[in-house]
């Protein structure tokens, strides 16, 4: 997909994330905004997956390990045509399938997640299956930086390197914040690249909001043949809405009417700026 | 201790205040959290007693392991984490390191049952009574009001054996029966007397029983006894057998799967003692849980004044 088109999608999707969270009066706002560009690039420029091939075993797989940021995934899947976007108006309401975490009852979603530290082991198992089938399927998963404290991730990392799963790509949404405080105060994970490398992974740092860099990276995997790839995507929690950026309370903060208007105004402005640059 | 807030506070706030009070004179009180300080209402505790709070990050297995180590050295370790993760992710640590190895860790499961509402099944804990009931050497407690919460925490701090205490998220009544001032883990509490049937409930499921009792009294002149069975293990057999001895219907109510929880514990006791009372277990069915807020989920499954009233009328065939 054209870079300009991807850029437009990112801003429009941010607007939708805010709209549906505002409507539901619930959501994990900050983390949805920090993974949005990653999901946009994966679904619109990298992965071989669409409503048309979703029944085919040949589709690429995406497993969102940090399930709480489901709003970003919902918006990207709706835009891909997996379900009507209006469905999201029921998000988090009584009897709605669109709950606050990914579930397989929603078209396009591969696995039920929400408990942290589950995505990478599942993704590793799926990648192993693809290898056994000599299939070209690639498996992607996105993890939170706070989530990295779960031991299951490190068990899966040993496993993926041991089985040389170079069809597996884990993406760290490195927004540096979790619920209580910055990772550095809760449970430091640095030097994360050296840790991942020492576990046998090929590692690359990227700007998690630079669509071009994300696209180039994801379209040139594996980084090293025979090794699983870990992409450390440096991101901003609350990206795109200045008063939310890097502010702890927006982990699951819901905007008031005034804040909502302000957010939409800011995103509209970004859209306008994009149009001006394009002209 | 006088200043402890009890009216309409979430039981977690009461929990946090009691702990601060205890920590003031007891340096052995240590709270262990897994990125759960805010949800556990423990921010003020952490500010006041920074040396008595330990953060492990999002790592529940490590949480229980570390709490075990602290307890083994004589610390009064409170491991605080969402009930769903604490009793599922760290179940082996609970079974082996806490219960089997007899380390008196105080496990605090927060936002339990369906408190997380629309966050769904990954965040619900409808299995915790069942799995912990099958583990020897651990008490299971779910307070129904802020009085029970404060008492349970104070008692747990001094307990020499493992205990699991389960808390919800929403505001709780201060005290469902201010005449019942005796509290002891392992002993149920009578919330009200009544002649026609007995509700046996635990945790946040007790309040809906009081609402049903009012409706039944007013609309059908049915008088209900209500027991807050805040301790699910060990079971207060004496109180339960005495309550059932009038032969009147028994209805158990819990924010838990109907499999393996309070209801089955009571049923097992009564059946093995040859009771033949009419009996009904109300809880979450063995089914995919409906989505919605806690109150919507309660209403959906009849854990409400109206729902329980209808259950009773059905049971009595009225
Ligand atoms: C096993 C488990 N423990 C705890 C939680 C509760 N929880 C949800 S989000 C979150 C913080 C996640 O932080 P991070 O991984 O950095 O995500 P992000 O910053 O991208 O939102 C926590 C503790 C959970 N969902 N699963
Ligand atoms: Mg983070």
Per-residue pLDDT tens over the stretch A13-33: 999 999 999 999 999 999 999
Q: What is the DSSP letter of A46?
A: I
**b/e map A169-208, b = 16+ CB within 10 Å:** bbbbbbbbbbbbbbbeebbebeebeebbeebbbbbbbbeb
Same domain membership, residue B57 and residue B100: yes
Residue B111 has pLDDT above 90, yes or no: yes
Q: Which positions ≥6 away from B317 have C-beta within 8 Å? A: none
* Inter-chain CB proximity A179 and B35 less than 8 Å: yes
Domain encompassing residue B15: 9-172
Q: Establish if B200 belongs to a structural domain.
A: yes
Provide the Cα torsion A13, A19, A20, A23; round to 10°.
180
Q: 3-class SS at B33?
A: strand
Mark which of B146, B172, B198 sits at the end of a domain: B172
Q: Are strands B139-141 and B231-233 parallel, antiparallel or unpaired?
A: antiparallel
A62 three-state secondary structure: strand
How do residues B276-287 score in pLDDT, each as one tens digit? 999 999 999 999
Q: Are residues B133 and B261 in the same domain?
A: no
Chain A: give the shortest CA distance to residue B154, in Å: 26
Domains detected in chain A: 3-278 (3.40.50.970)
Interatomic CA distance for residues B207 and A160, integer angstroms: 50
Nearest Cα residue to B14 out of B25, B26, B1 = B1
- In this structure, the answer to whether residues B163 and B40 fall within a common structural domain is yes
Do B218 and B306 have their domain in common?
yes
| B35 within a domain of the structure (yes/no) | yes
Q: How far is the CA of A143 from the centre of ligand 2 (A)?
A: 9
Asked, for residue B1, whether it belongs to a domain, the answer is no
B151 and B54 in a common domain: yes
Contacts of A220 (CB under 8 A, 6+ apart): none
Residue A183 has pLDDT above 60, yes or no: yes
pLDDT score, position B8: 67
Q: Do B35 and A180 touch (CB under 8 A)?
A: yes
**Residue-level pLDDT at B5:** 55
Pair B156, B264 in one domain? no
* Tokens standing for residue B257: 């799967």
pLDDT tens profile A216-239? 999 999 999 999 999 999 999 999
In a domain, B269, yes or no: yes
Substitution site in A178, A183, A251 for ligand 1 pocket (most atoms within 8 Å of beta carbon)? A178
Which ligand 1 atom sits closest to the C-alpha of A34?
20
Q: What are phi and psi of B30, to 5 degrees?
A: -130, 130
- The answer to whether B83 touches B109, Cβ cutoff 8 Å, is yes
Question: Does the pLDDT at position B4 exceed 70?
Answer: no
pLDDT for B1 equals 40
Determine the average pLDDT of the residues in A135-161: 98
Asked if the model's pLDDT at residue A147 lies above 70, the reply is yes
**Do B168 and B196 sit in the same domain of this protein?**
no
Residue of A nearest to B119 (CA): A100
pTM higher than the cut 0.80: yes
Are residue B40 and residue B156 in the same domain, yes or no?
yes
Any domain includes B4: no
Q: Do residue A187 and residue B59 have CB atoms under 8 angstroms apart? A: yes
**Closest approach of A275 to chain B, Cα-based (Å):** 37
Q: How far apart are CA B137 and CA B134, in angstroms?
A: 10
B28: CATH: 3.40.50.970
Query: Is there a domain that residue B177 lies in?
Result: no
pLDDT attached to residue B40: 86
3-state secondary structure (DSSP) of residue A181: coil
Q: What percent of the residues of chain A are helix, what percent strand, and what percent coil, each to the nearest 5? A: 50, 10, 40
**Residues B18 and B131 placed together within one structural domain of the fold:** yes
Question: Quick check: is B49 in a domain?
Answer: yes
- Give pLDDT tens digits for B39-88: 889 999 999 999 999 999 999 999 999 999 999 999 999 999 999 999 99
Same domain, B261 and B163: no
CATH of the domain at B291: 3.40.50.920
Whether B305 maps to a domain, the answer reads yes
Do B161 and B275 belong to one domain? no
Mutate to test the pocket of ligand 1, among B38, B57, B58 (most ligand atoms within 8 A of CB): B58
* B204 shares its domain with B165: no
CA of A234 to the centre of ligand 1 (A): 17
Chosen from A186, A188, A250 to mutate, greatest number of chain B CBs within 10 A: A186
Average pLDDT (A112-127) is: 98
Q: What is the ipTM of this complex?
A: 0.95
Please give all residues whose beta carbon lies within 6 A of any atom in ligand 1, as ranges.
A 28, 30-31, 34, 66, 68-69, 114-117, 144-147, 173, 175, 177-179, 237, 251; B 35, 58, 60, 85, 89
The structural domain count of chain B equals 2
């Amino acid at each position: 997909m054209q870079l300009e088109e991807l850029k437009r999608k990112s801003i429009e999707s941010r607007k939708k994330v805010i709209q549906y969270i505002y409507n539901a009066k619930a959501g994990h706002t900050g983390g949805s905004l920090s993974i949005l560009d990653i999901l946009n690039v994966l679904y619109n420029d990298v992965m071989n997956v669409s409503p048309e091939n979703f029944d085919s075993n040949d589709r690429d797989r995406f497993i969102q390990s940090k399930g709480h940021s489901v709003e970003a995934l919902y918006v990207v899947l709706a835009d891909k045509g997996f379900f009507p976007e209006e469905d999201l108006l029921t998000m988090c309401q009584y009897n709605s399938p669109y709950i606050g975490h990914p579930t397989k009852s929603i078209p396009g979603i591969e696995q039920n997640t929400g408990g942290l530290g589950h995505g990478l082991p599942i993704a590793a198992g799926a990648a192993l299956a693809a290898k056994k089938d000599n299939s070209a399927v690639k498996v992607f998963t996105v993890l939170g930086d706070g989530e990295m404290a779960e031991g299951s991730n490190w068990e899966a990392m040993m496993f993926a390197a041991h089985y040389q799963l170079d069809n597996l790509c884990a993406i760290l949404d490195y927004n540096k914040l979790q619920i209580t405080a910055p990772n550095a105060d809760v449970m430091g994970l640095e030097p994360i690249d050296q840790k991942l490398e020492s576990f046998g992974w090929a590692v690359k740092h990227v700007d998690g909001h630079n669509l071009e860099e994300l696209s180039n990276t994801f379209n040139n995997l594996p980084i090293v043949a025979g090794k699983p790839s870990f992409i450390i995507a440096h991101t901003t929690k609350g990206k795109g809405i200045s008063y939310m950026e890097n502010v702890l309370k927006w982990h699951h903060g819901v905007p008031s009417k005034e804040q909502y208007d302000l957010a939409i105004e800011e995103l509209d402005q970004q859209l306008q700026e994009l149009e001006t640059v394009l002209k | 201790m006088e200043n402890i807030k009890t009216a309409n506070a979430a039981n977690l706030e009461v929990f946090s205040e009691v702990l601060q009070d205890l920590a003031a004179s007891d340096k052995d009180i240590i709270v262990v959290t897994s990125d759960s300080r805010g949800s556990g209402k423990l921010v003020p505790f952490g500010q006041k007693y920074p040396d008595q709070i330990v953060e492990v990050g999002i790592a529940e297995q490590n949480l229980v392991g570390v709490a075990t180590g602290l307890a083994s050295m004589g610390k009064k370790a409170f491991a605080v984490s969402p009930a769903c993760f604490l009793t599922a992710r760290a179940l082996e640590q609970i079974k082996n390191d806490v219960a089997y190895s007899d380390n008196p860790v105080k496990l605090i499961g927060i936002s339990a049952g369906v408190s997380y509402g629309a966050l769904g099944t990954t965040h619900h804990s409808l299995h915790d009574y069942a799995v912990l009931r099958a583990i020897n050497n651990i008490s299971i407690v779910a307070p129904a009001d802020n009085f029970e919460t404060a008492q349970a925490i104070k008692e747990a701090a001094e307990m020499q054996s493992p205990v699991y205490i389960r808390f919800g998220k929403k505001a709780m009544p201060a005290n469902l029966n201010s005449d019942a001032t005796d509290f002891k883990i392992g002993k149920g509490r009578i919330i009200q007397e009544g002649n026609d049937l007995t509700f046996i409930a635990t945790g946040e499921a007790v309040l809906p029983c009081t609402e049903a009792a009012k409706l039944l009294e007013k609309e059908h002149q049915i008088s209900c006894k209500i027991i807050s069975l805040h301790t699910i293990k060990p079971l207060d057999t004496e109180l339960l057998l005495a309550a059932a001895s009038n032969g009147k219907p028994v209805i158990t109510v819990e924010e838990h799967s109907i499999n393996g929880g309070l209801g089955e514990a009571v049923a097992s006791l009564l059946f093995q003692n040859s009771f033949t009372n009419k009996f009904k277990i109300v809880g979450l069915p063995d089914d995919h849980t409906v989505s919605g807020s806690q109150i919507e989920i309660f209403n959906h499954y009849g854990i409400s004044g109206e729902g329980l009233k209808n259950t009773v009328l059905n049971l009595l065939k009225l």
